[in-house]
Amino acid sequence: MGKSAKIKPSNLANPLMISSDLLINNKNWNRLVRSWSSEKLPHALLFHGPEGAGKEGHALELAALLNCTAITNKEPCGSCPSCKKTRSFQHENVKLILPLPRGNIKSSDDSIVKAFTNSTLKEYWELLKQKENEPYSPIRLTGANTILINSIRDLKHDLALSTVNNEWRIILIFQAEKLCLPSPEAAHSLLKVLEEPPEKTLFILVSSQPGAILDTIRSRCQSVYFPPISVQVLQERLVQSGADPVQAAVMVRISGGNVRLSQELIENSTDLMEKLYLLLNACFSSDPSIWNKCIDTIARLKTKDISQMEQLFRCAVLFFRDLLYYSATGSDDEIIFKNKMSKIDKLSKSYSEADWHSCIQHIENTQNYISRNGYLPLQIICMILDIQKSLRGEIYEPFRLSDWTPV
């Protein structure tokens, strides 16, 4: 797929939910539905797990279920007025709290409305629209580093009022760790109402960093863990959406089960693969001009976005992992770069004495050194030279400070 390719909804998701593109965690969803059906739903839930696992999407689905007027098989219908309003963040009984910039707020007594300047409000609605269409899209406002105590005070005022049509009231707190960062004043303000909420009120806190949340907050919530999406499921999703199978296999492993990141990677996969083949060419070449081109490419990546540089290094690790596996087994069953099988076979035979495991270590060490602001050109040259030593089967001995210490 080229740079402009877009991921389309997958039939792996459930079309009856309010978001047909959300990969439902059946274990967690069934557990929540059982609690709701038996009227034992806790008053506060903490959805936690890595980025891109669908925590926020599941929170919205549960919010929709509680007020859906046409529930089908214990799932929100996705089409009734209540479900539509929940999906578009316009439901009067579903309140969203998340980090906001201070805007024109001068004191903790100011209304949270003052946080929204014209530009912030425009950005906010654009992000909500993206979230409506793509459940894995983040809502990250510029300059928003904490959940303001003003949001919690406005929430308390709202909770003192009766709900519309005696419906469930759901409070969604996204990036809940920001209740406590950099200051826990919003968390302290939330404690009392979290402990004794009004009837038919549900708090759903969502966080990828639950360890940053105060113990007093976590202890009042029932924990629901969302693991990374499995490689198999995520790869199938990308392939069904039109992605090249080899590129999908690579990007899924780089993403670590993060759906959103896998989508971003596959949309830019052609460019990433071109850079990867340049890096690999440098590793097997003795031509300094190729080395310099590789250095320039990686330097530009680091300057533009260091995460893209890290993705490139992870791609290289996967390729050398294929060489390690094929050299050891002679089988292509677990090969990721199946479209490069002839190249892998040739390299494996040409470098029969190679220590592929050490090659992987050189790449990982170089990524670590550069991320810690090591001088990039020197680090890349050293990596290439070290890899070429390992290709010849020479024993790699890492530098030790004692090597320069007089006896």
Burial 324-340 (b: 16+ CB within 10 A, else e): bbbbeeeeeeebbbeeb
Does residue 14 register a pLDDT over 80? no
- The tens digit of pLDDT for each residue in 393-407 reads 886 555 554 555 554
Cis peptide before 288, with omega less than 30 degrees from 0? no
DSSP for 264-320 reads HHHHTHHHHHHHHHHHHHHHT---HHHHHHHHHHHHHHHHH-HHHHHHHHHHHHHHH
Cβ–Cβ under 8 Å, residues 22 and 13: yes
Distance CA 401, CA 171 (A): 56
Of the listed ranges 13-22, 71-80, 371-380, the one predicted with least confidence: 13-22
Cα angle for residues 12, 18, 20 (degrees, 5° grid):
20
Structure tokens at 285: 């070449």
Neighbour tally for 233: CB within 10 Å = 14
Our measurement of the distance from residue 317's CA atom to the centroid of its chain's CA atoms, rounded to an integer in Å, reads: 20
Burial 378-400 (b: 16+ CB within 10 A, else e): ebbbbbbebbbbbbeeeeeeeee
Bridge-based pairing of strands 201-207 and 169-173 is parallel
- The tens digit of pLDDT for each residue in 109-165 reads 999 999 999 999 999 999 999 999 999 999 999 999 999 999 999 999 999 887 777
Question: Residue 307 has what pLDDT?
Answer: 87
The residue with tokens 């190729």 is: 290
- The tens digit of pLDDT for each residue in 186-232 reads 999 999 899 889 999 999 999 999 999 999 999 999 999 999 999 99
Residue 177 per-residue DSSP state? G
Neighbour tally for 232: CB within 10 Å = 9
The closest alpha carbon to 316, from 236, 380, 245, 244, belongs to 380
Distance CA 121, CA 111 (A): 15
H or E element: which one contains 190? Answer: helix 185-195
Instruction: Report the percentage of the chain scoring pLDDT > 70.
Output: 93
H or E element: which one contains 247? Answer: helix 245-255
Q: Give residue 88's pLDDT band: very low, low, confident or very high (50, 70, 90).
A: very high
Q: Give residue 16's pLDDT band: very low, low, confident or very high (50, 70, 90).
A: low
Please give the model's pTM, rounded to 2 decimal places: 0.81
Question: Residue 298 has what pLDDT?
Answer: 96
Neighbour tally for 8: CB within 10 Å = 10
For range 305-313, the mean pLDDT:
90
Phi/psi class of residue 96: alpha, beta or left (left: φ > 0; alpha: ψ in -120 to 50)?
A: beta
Distance CA 328, CA 378 (A): 32
